[in-house]
């Protein structure tokens, strides 16, 4: 299921990262090859489908644990439920499940992502509990550096 949704994620991101589908019509999905594992896991958000009443996936979060830091490797919510709080709930619940240090990166040209992730950082880490820095993208000097939020959740 995440593999299907991941194609929508890459499609949404394509204008920001100048991404093209491969010859088979699918976007790059190599990231998924490492999931799930002991250090990589994902979460799905669900909502009742408006036509069938049955459960429908409306978003996913892919989390990675590094030696000292958790990070969000990919995050996506279907456009129809954006601005209804589904993305915020998914982000905050995913982060809360893994207390400690976190990084959340987003692309400079993704104008919607910045305000969203800053609001989430305030809620997850506290208004003064996080910083934002710019980090160059390895092997891509032609694109703007990513914005990276660094914060720490309280230990349980």
Domain tally, the chain = 1
Report the distance separating Cα 8 and Cα 6, nearest Å.
Answer: 5
Q: Which domain holds residue 21?
A: 2-152
What is the pLDDT at residue 27?
84
Average pLDDT over residues 116-133: 96
What's the CATH number where 42 sits? 3.40.630.30
The yes-or-no verdict on residue 156 having pLDDT over 60 is: no
The yes-or-no verdict on residue 48 having pLDDT over 60 is: yes
pTM across the whole model: 0.89
Give the pLDDT band (50/70/90) at residue 77.
very high
Of 83, 86, 2, nearest in space to 41 by CA: 2
Average pLDDT over residues 58-77: 96
What is the pLDDT at residue 71?
96
């Amino acid at each position: 299921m995440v593999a299907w949704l991941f194609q929508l994620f890459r499609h949404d991101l394509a204008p920001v990262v100048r991404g093209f589908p491969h010859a088979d019509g699918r976007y790059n999905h190599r990231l998924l090859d490492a999931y799930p594992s002991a250090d990589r896991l994902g979460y799905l958000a669900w909502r009742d489908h408006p036509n069938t009443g049955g459960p429908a996936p409306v978003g996913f979060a892919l989390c990675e644990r590094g030696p000292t830091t958790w990070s969000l490797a990919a995050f996506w919510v279907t456009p129809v439920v954006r601005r209804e709080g589904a993305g915020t709930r998914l982000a905050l619940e995913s982060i809360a499940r893994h207390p400690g240090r976190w990084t959340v990166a987003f692309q400079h040209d993704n104008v919607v992502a910045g305000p969203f992730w800053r609001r989430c950082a305030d809620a997850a880490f506290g208004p003064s509990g996080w910083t934002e820095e710019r980090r160059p993208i390895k092997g891509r000097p032609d694109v703007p550096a990513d914005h990276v939020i660094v914060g720490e959740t309280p230990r349980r």
